[in-house]
Amino acid sequence: MAEKSAYEPFEAAGDPKHTARATRSAGRKMRSRLLDAASPLFRERGLSGASITDIAAAANAFPSQITYYFRTKEALFVECACRDLLYLARATEQAALRARTPREYTHALAETVTASDSVAFFAEALTLTRRRQDLAPLVERTIERLHAEGARAYAGQVASHGWRSLRAPDESSRRFWAVAIGVILEGYAMGRSPDELCAEMLRVLGEQAKCAGEAARLRLVDDRDSSTPADEES
């Protein structure tokens, strides 16, 4: 008898385990469809302006499916905002891959983040969780993942280019997103353009790292400065 391939499923199509997996797969697809449909409606109309009926119609689903998968419209809102922020973080990392200097890297990050309304959307979710503490764990997990992936991406760039970071990767990631949220919220309130938001982010962030050549020159200058008193004495 021929041996089974390592990639061949062990359960027949009618097996209960196979059926359970198919059900989970269908459930994930439906959740994704509902999130895809809800996100633009929430961005355009806000939480109160986007009804469950409208979201279900946009997803070609039933309103009962929203309550089945998310329980409440508020929970759907928060999950949309969290997912969109992580999508933005991924797009931000991709945009910065072409950077060759620390300055270009920071500019690419700031420009991508301020061109999107995902941070403002997420800030609305943060406000909502003040009144709905049952939704706070999702926000907490999103922030942890945001910082962890940001630190990983930044450390990778520093290592691949030989830059000298002025801060630890985790500190740089947390600082970047804290500045982004603060600058964007203030800027939205003031009616500032994406270009103005980007410029303000760059001003507040300042220098994040130095190129290998710059770091070497700084070390040479530091060495000369530290040796000056001894040279003068001799």
For 196-206, write each residue's pLDDT tens digit: 999 999 999 99
Model confidence over 119-178: pLDDT tens digits? 999 999 999 998 888 999 999 999 999 999 999 999 999 999 999 999 999 999 999 999
Taking Cα atoms as reference points, which of 119, 123, 121, 93 lies closest to residue 106? 93
DSSP secondary structure, 105-129, as one string = HHHHHHHHHHT-SHHHHHHHHHHHH
User: Is residue 9 pLDDT above 90, yes or no?
Assistant: no
Claim: this prediction has a pTM higher than 0.85: no
Angle at 88 between CA 141 and CA 94, to 5 degrees: 115
Band (pLDDT 50/70/90 cuts) for residue 215 is very low
Tell me if 147 sits within 8 A of 157, measured CB to CB.
no
Mean pLDDT of 198-226: 71
Beta-bridged to residue 210, according to DSSP, are 164
Q: What is the mean pLDDT of the chain?
A: 85
User: Is residue 228 pLDDT above 90, yes or no?
Assistant: no
